[in-house]
Amino acid sequence: MEMSSAIIAMLGFGVAGVSCLAVAEKFVPIIPSYILLMLLGTAVTRRSDLAAMVVATTVGSTIGSVCWYGLGRVLGSRRVDQRKRGS
Tell me the per-residue pLDDT of 47-87, one tens digit each, with 9 for 90 and over. Answer: 878 888 888 888 988 999 998 888 878 877 777 567 666 65
What integer best gives the mean pLDDT of the chain?
79
Q: Are 56 and 15 in contact (CB under 8 A)?
A: yes
| Inter-residue contact 30 to 42 (CB < 8 Å) | no
In 1-87, which residue ranges form alpha helices assigned H by DSSP? 3-11, 15-27, 33-43, 47-86
Contact 40, 18 (CB under 8 A): yes
What letter represents residue 81's amino acid?
D
- Given this model, what pLDDT does residue 84 score? 64
pTM: 0.69
